[in-house]
Amino acid sequence: MEEQEKLTRFEQQILPHMDAAFNLARWLAGNDTDAQDVVQDAYLRAFKFFAGFRGGDSRSWLLRIVRNSFYDWLRRQGRPELTTPFDEQIHDPAADSPAPDTVLLEKADKEMVSQAIAALAVEYREVLVMREIEGLAYKEIADVAELPIGTVMSRLARAREQLRQGLIERLHQA
């Protein structure tokens, strides 16, 4: 494949999924800076091996690379798993601004959910993010995570239950 043709195909098929790649990396890594490193590494790998991409779902293909890049990044950091809570900054356009108390309550709710998701073990967090935030089907998650579909389903069920328990605990603390 000619280099210019490869670059054009890559830009058309892979670059549109950058937001999904960054979103998954951010949820896995726990912060924007590390997520940027993971995504940058993933995109370099994706470009390097793009000639081997034979079509199909380019988003799932890229998210698998992001996931693998994250685990490689974890190993290089010498950490078996991250424990730093995810800190999501919420930006709300002030076009039709709701009441300040409503904004504070919504922000508190989002932060509580983000903290509960961040507290999940990474193997649960990744399937939850791919399913509930990125909207991937079970089969796509199984392909990305290189897991049997039954494992995806059981991890997702456990993730949802742990998320529910985490939210209940946080509500009782509030």
Tell me the two tokens of residue 148: 């049997």
pTM exceeds 0.85 for this model: no
Residue 168: alpha-carbon gap to chain centroid: 23
Looking up tokens 């998701």 gives 117
CA-closest candidate to residue 22, choices 35, 12, 41? 35
Read off the pLDDT of residues 98-127 as tens digits, 9 standing for 90 and up. Answer: 556 555 556 667 788 888 899 999 999 999
Query: How high is the pLDDT of residue 2?
Result: 79
Query: How high is the pLDDT of residue 80?
Result: 60
Domains defined for the chain, CATH in brackets:
1-82 (1.10.1740.10), 96-174 (1.10.10.10)
Query: How high is the pLDDT of residue 43?
Result: 93
Read off the pLDDT of residues 125-148 as tens digits, 9 standing for 90 and up. Answer: 999 999 998 999 999 999 999 999
Q: Which pLDDT band, with edges at 50, 70 and 90, does 39 fall under?
A: very high
Angle (CA) 116 96 101, round 5°: 50
